[in-house]
């Protein structure tokens, strides 16, 4: 099973600070083993710089944070999957709760993005997760099952087998609240079970990352979960130190020598 630690920078950093962070991660990567895959997802303006750095690094993939569901055309301000591919970007986050909440993205629209990414050979990192009120009402499983079904219904099983999923309870994102290891493992196992409907037995090998205030001080407990295959990290991915530490923790927990 793959283990992945991905950094979602969101709308943070500027050219100089982005270059410094990439440079630090790239330099560090050449001395490490690459059992844990590192993914960096900077904002669009820094993707090119990130791809250059990844070419010199080891085990580093660059992801975009978003893409459009059409290949190209009159969509002012949008970025197309073929553009990302032509730069050397290997993956793309889709369905992040911030895109669902602030940009009105629906499961169907997210499903179209997933299809297009797969057609172009990029890995979709599909985010799902319930809101606080869903959890409090005991609807968290139902909500996440619906998100998975809504986005993957039109994706062929062979395509679904290629995706990476991130379980990100919305109440834990950027809040300092984290799902307990037991809550996270329970949801990851549930997600894997749901994925079987769409990917068949290959669901066993789909990496499912945990996201939501995952930091070096709580990562170990989360990463030990049998169905937790790494993390999608926001705040703690903006500095090289904590991000490297998270990768090292994942390595210790998932790939003991």
Answer yes or no whether residue 114 interacts with ligand PGA by CB under 6 A.
no
Contact 191, 167 (CB under 8 A): yes
* Shortest distance in whole angstroms from residue 172 CB to ligand PGA: 6
Total interface residues for ligand PGA by CB under 6 A: 13
Q: Which of 3, 4, 8, 230 binds ligand PGA (CB under 6 A)?
A: 8
Least distance from ligand PGA to the Cβ atom of residue 173, Å: 4
- For ligand PGA, the binding residues in 166-195 under the rule CB under 6 A are 168, 173-174
Bridge partners of residue 4, in order along the sequence: 37, 230
40 and 25 in contact (C-beta within 8 Å)? yes
Catalytic residue among 37, 105, 130, 168: 168
Interaction of residue 60 with ligand PGA, rule CB under 6 A: no
Tell me whether residue 168 is one of the annotated catalytic residues: yes
C-beta closer to ligand PGA: residue 84 or 214: 214
Rounded Cα–Cα distance for residues 167 and 43 (Å): 21
Residues in a beta bridge with 167: 128, 210
The secondary element (H helix, E strand) that includes residue 220 is: helix 216-223
Q: Which long-range contacts (CB under 8 A, 24 or more apart) does 143-147 make?
A: 144/187, 144/190, 144/191, 144/194, 145/190, 145/194, 146/107, 147/95, 147/107
Is residue 213 a contact point for ligand PGA (CB under 6 A)? yes
Within 8 A by CB and 6+ apart from 219, the residues are 231, 246, 249, 250
Q: Is 80 in the site for ligand PGA (CB under 6 A)?
A: no
Rule CB under 6 A: say whether 211 interacts with ligand PGA.
Answer: yes
CB of 206 to ligand PGA, least distance (A): 18
Binding residue for ligand PGA (CB under 6 A) from 187, 235, 243, 246?
Answer: 235
| Residues near ligand PGA (CB under 6 A) | 8, 168, 173-174, 211-214, 232-236
Active site residues: 96, 168
């Amino acid at each position: 099973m793959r283990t992945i630690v991905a950094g979602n920078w969101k709308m943070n950093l500027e050219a100089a600070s982005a270059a410094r962070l990439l440079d630090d991660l790239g330099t560090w990567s050449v001395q490490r083993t690459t059992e844990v895959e590192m993914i960096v997802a900077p904002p669009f303006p820094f993707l090119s710089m990130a791809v250059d750095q990844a070419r010199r690094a080891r085990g580093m993939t660059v992801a975009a944070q978003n893409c459009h569901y059409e290949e190209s055309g009159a969509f002012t301000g949008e970025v197309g999957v073929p553009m990302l591919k032509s730069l050397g970007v290997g993956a793309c986050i889709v369905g992040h709760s911030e895109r669902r909440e602030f940009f009105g993205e629906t499961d169907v629209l997210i499903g179209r993005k997933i299809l297009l990414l797969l057609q172009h050979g990029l890995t979709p990192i599909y985010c799902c997760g319930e809101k606080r009120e869903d959890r409090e009402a005991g609807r968290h499983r139902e909500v996440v099952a619906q998100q998975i079904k809504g986005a993957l219904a039109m994706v062929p099983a062979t395509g679904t087998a290629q995706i990476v999923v991130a379980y990100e309870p919305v109440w834990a994102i950027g809040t300092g609240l984290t799902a307990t290891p037991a809550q996270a493992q329970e949801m990851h196992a549930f997600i894997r079970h749901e994925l079987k409907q769409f990917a068949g037995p290959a669901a066993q090998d789909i990496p499912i990352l945990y996201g939501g205030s995952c930091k070096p001080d709580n990562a170990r407990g989360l990463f030990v979960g049998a169905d937790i295959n790494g993390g999608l990290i926001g705040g703690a991915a903006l500095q090289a130190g904590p991000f490297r530490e998270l990768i090292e923790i994942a390595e210790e927990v998932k790939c003991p020598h």
